[in-house]
Chain A
Amino acid sequence: EVQLVESGGGLVQPGGSLRLSCPASGFTFSSYAMSWVRQGPGRGLEWVSTISSSGVGTYYADSVKGRFTISRDNSKNTLYLQMNSLRAEDTAVYYCAIYIQTGSNEDYWGQGTLVTVSS
């Protein structure tokens, strides 16, 4: 059974930092690119970042570039998102998910972790 379990969310003050983790199991983690997608309260889905299977390639939304860093540890089957200089508009549920550009119907998502940025 495929499992992606996000953790590390919580309440943080504006300007603060958080590190999200997403350990994976049930599939060959090192073979897949991985993404973070977020959803603000009552809002739609927003792509945040993607990392290649090897970790060499990283991509970011303009809204988080320079503040967030995506990384992975294939030896631990875990995806991370380091979030610095957090703003109120970063408040959202953060999901980790596999990323495949084309040719596959594989679709694995975590249950999400809530990040609240507030004083």
Chain B
Amino acid sequence: EIVLTQSPATLSLSPGERATLSCRASQSVRSYLAWYQQKPGQAPRLLIYDASSRATGIPARFSGSGSGTDFTLTISSLEPEDFAVYYCQQRSDWPLSFGGGTNVEIK
């Protein structure tokens, strides 16, 4: 079973700042990694798939990088609507798994 570890658990930043979120896998997931954003009371929304491809309609300030075991989601300049919880998910092997999440909160 592949365990995904996200860090930090909470990121306190101000609008306009850069956010860097990490996701580390216990074994290689190649590039089969996705990032989701979730706001309270809503279903998750896909931001990034295949480690670095932006989903339709996702602003260019969101970018993903990495392969193998180390991945990063970067938000270049936080907008007010970006404060939310972010999850990584590996799609490399069964069972699928999610990371524990990073809460990006307003400082």
Contacts and interface: CB of A to CB of B under 8 A. Distances in A.
Contacts of B43: 95, 97, 109-112
| Max chain B C-beta neighbours (<10 A), residue from A60, A99, A101, A111 | A101
Q: Is the interface of B mostly helix, strand, loop or mixed?
A: loop
A112 B53 CA distance: 26
Contacts, number: 60
B55 A45 contact: no
B84 interface: no
B50 A45 contact: no
Contacts of B98: 37, 44-47
A50 B95 CA distance: 9
Given A59-B95, A60-B95, A110-B43, A101 B32 contact: yes
A61 interface: yes
A44 B49 contact: no
A105 B56 contact: yes
A101 B87 CA distance: 16
Nearest to B45: A107
B96 A47 contact: yes
Contacts of B31: 102
B81 to A, nearest CB: 18
Tier of interface size on chain B: 20 to 34
A99 B46 CA distance: 12
Interface in A50-102: 50, 59-62, 95, 97, 99-102
Contact of B55 (A44, A59, A107): A107
Contacts of A62: 1, 95
A105 B49 contact: yes
B50 A103 contact: yes
Contacts of B85: 44
A-B complex: 4 closest residue pairs judged by Cβ atoms: A107-B46, A109-B43, A105-B55, A47-B96
24 contacts: A44-B87, A44-B99, A44-B100, A44-B101, A45-B36, A45-B87, A45-B98, A47-B89, A47-B98, A50-B96, A59-B95, A60-B95, A62-B1, A62-B95, A97-B43, A102-B50, A105-B53, A105-B54, A105-B55, A105-B56, A107-B45, A109-B43, A109-B44, A112-B43
